[in-house]
Structure formats: C-alpha cells, structure tokens
Amino acid sequence: MAEFLYSAWFIDDAALPDDQDREWVACILIDADCADAAKSWGDSLAQDRATHSPSERFLWSSIEDMMSLPEATDLSSVPHIEAGQLASSEEIGW
C-alpha cells in the first residue's frame, strides 16, 4: 500500500458570501493500493459528510502521492485512515 494526501473542498451555503469560512478544505492521509482507490474512498467519505450536513456541499477533491510532496512537509496532525475504513467525522476532523 501507498500513502496519499486527499483534500476535499466544501462550501457552506448557510454562510454569508463574504464569510472567509464559507468555502473550506479538509485533508486526510489515506493508505491505498493506488491513487484512484484513495480518491474514490475519500470522495465517498466527503459525499457522506455533505449528505449529513444540509447546508454544506462537496465541491471537488484532489489526491497527491506522498512521495511527490516536499520532504519537509509536516502532516503529523492530519488524520490517517486506510481505504475502506469507516471513520467518524470526529476522527476525520471535519
């Protein structure tokens, strides 16, 4: 398995248009066999989040192989899961 940085962007439709927190991003480290599997699992979790939060919409996502990130990147505070692992909103941090 490889490690990938998954990022999901959301928008809060209940927030005012000029609210700096109206659009926000959440990041998760996902262990998966490939980038597509990591992105697919992250998208599933993000869409589930949006389904359970009426004012928030999932906009888009990106995936990065950890090997492509600069070595000095500190991701020690980013939640870490495996593809297929169910994780609560509290565990993910969104």
Domain count, the chain: 1
9: pLDDT strictly greater than 80: yes
* 56 in any annotated domain: yes
| Domain of 46, in residue numbers | 34-69+76-84
Q: Confidence band (pLDDT; 50, 70, 90) for 68?
A: confident
Note whether residue 21 is domain-resident: no
| Any domain includes 57 | yes
In a domain, 4, yes or no: no
Long-range (24+ apart) CB contacts under 8 A made by 37-42 are 37/83, 38/4, 38/6, 38/63, 38/83, 39/4, 39/6, 39/63, 40/83, 41/6, 41/83, 41/84, 42/6, 42/8
Residue 15 resides in a domain: no
Which pLDDT score is estimated for 72? 66
pLDDT the model gives residue 93: 82
Q: Model pTM?
A: 0.90
